[in-house]
Amino acid sequence: MASSTKSPPDAIVPNIVVITDDADVTLRVIKYTQRLKPGDDGNDKVKSITDFNVNTQVMIRNSEFFKTLLTGNFAEASQSVVTLKEHDPSAMQAIFCALHSQYEDWSASSCGLSITKQTLGLSVHSLCDVISSARHFLIEMVELDSWFKLWYEHGDNSKTDPKLMLYPTYQLNHAEGFAAATKKMVYHHTRIEETKNQQHRDLHLPPRVIQQLCAARGRLKTILSNQIWNHISGLLDGSCNCKEKTLFAFLHALKETGGFPVDQAAQRNPIANVLHQLADFDNYFEAPAEAKGCSRCSTDWSSAMKTACAVVWKYFDGLCLDCMDHTQPKFADEHEDYWGHLERDMERRDDQQGAIRQVVQMQ
Ligand SMILES: [Zn+2]
Ligand SMILES: [Zn+2]
């Protein structure tokens, strides 16, 4: 039987990262190859050791954990190197960066600039490590907001799976990112669900977010169906002799696109695909010869369908983070906050719909 080679931490050379020129304490972050079981010192499982030189005052001002650790009666308070086990060094660097960046002098310093730059390339997967470690060290999430804003602006997030962006943008209070991720999911995903993070199963959205997204997707289907029904209903109410033929041609073309009936089409396809299919209506519709000259039947059905799709494309702008986050009401009264946002969001959507209708009427 092969025996595993033991590699005590002494054998691994620590990587030194100077977070600030004012550093007066070293926080040693040790990452292991696997999660340690209780009682395991992990000496044979060390993956990396990183020594972060940080400023004690910055740490104790932002974290009750470090306040106790670095100023209390713990042995650590008198040591110049304090060990923190089982944290990801890049995630920790992002946290140190976020905390030190509250000081303008630091952000403008060459040290601050280069440290910050290194953290902006962090992968979207590592964001949960950042959040998890911040929680562990009792650091308020709000302290990470500005750093996350920089991270978000730095990368091209258009190709990132919105499911991965959902939780970090929610937790790190990025309204624009949260709206973009939720919008993308509602239009481009068939199944609205959150990805389970295997390393951090405690990190997930409150259930209402997914509920709201499912509701939004349902709403889009209803609006699209209503738009189409209005045309069908208009033909049914017609008094001309060509309405039957026109209705048949209309329904036939809808069926041929593959995007109709909407509910059925949206069962296996994202709303975006259904809209693309329906936008192809033009290729399948053949106006019956009898309908020429009939004011009702000679409607431009293709552009009517394009308009219906445009209304649905414009309807949902993503979830409003303020509405979701009732734990931090913007107004004094949580309930006022709830109703206030709901009304404003509805007005915003109605305004958009009104604008679209105006455009349509002008045509
Ligand atoms: Zn007619
Ligand atoms: Zn709102």
ipTM of the complex: 0.82
Residue 304 C-alpha to ligand 1 middle, in angstroms?
16
The answer to whether 24 touches 81, Cβ cutoff 8 Å, is: no
The answer to whether 42 touches 32, Cβ cutoff 8 Å, is: yes
| Residue 88 in domain | yes
| Residue 5 in domain | no
Same domain, 219 and 314: yes
| Residue 179 in domain | no
Same domain, 147 and 228: no
Residue 146 C-alpha to ligand 2 middle, in angstroms?
21
Residue 316 C-alpha to ligand 2 middle, in angstroms?
13
The answer to whether 86 touches 35, Cβ cutoff 8 Å, is: yes
List the beta strands (DSSP E) in the chain.
Answer: 15-18, 25-32, 46-54, 81-85
Same domain, 280 and 143: no
* 341/67 Cα distance (integer angstroms): 38
Residue 261 C-alpha to ligand 1 middle, in angstroms?
24
Give the model's pLDDT for residue 334. Answer: 60
Same domain, 281 and 350: yes
List, in order, residues 6 or more apart from 291 with CB less than 8 Å away. 242, 245, 246, 297, 298
Residue 122 C-alpha to ligand 2 middle, in angstroms?
30
Same domain, 257 and 338: yes
Give the model's pLDDT for residue 272. Answer: 98
Same domain, 103 and 231: no
Same domain, 244 and 336: yes
Residue 257, domain extent: 207-362
Same domain, 234 and 322: yes
Last residue of a domain, one of 131, 155, 179: 155
Same domain, 230 and 318: yes
Q: Which residues in the chain come in under a pLDDT of 50?
A: 1-7, 328-330, 359-363
Q: Residue 247 corresponds to which tokens in the numbers above?
A: 């209705």
Q: Residue 182 corresponds to which tokens in the numbers above?
A: 């939720």
Residue 249 C-alpha to ligand 1 middle, in angstroms?
12
The number of folded domains in the chain is: 2
The answer to whether 157 touches 163, Cβ cutoff 8 Å, is: no
Give the model's pLDDT for residue 108. Answer: 85
Give the model's pLDDT for residue 329. Answer: 46
Residue 295 C-alpha to ligand 1 middle, in angstroms?
7
From the CA of 342, the nearest ligand is 2
| Residue 50 in domain | no
Same domain, 214 and 319: yes
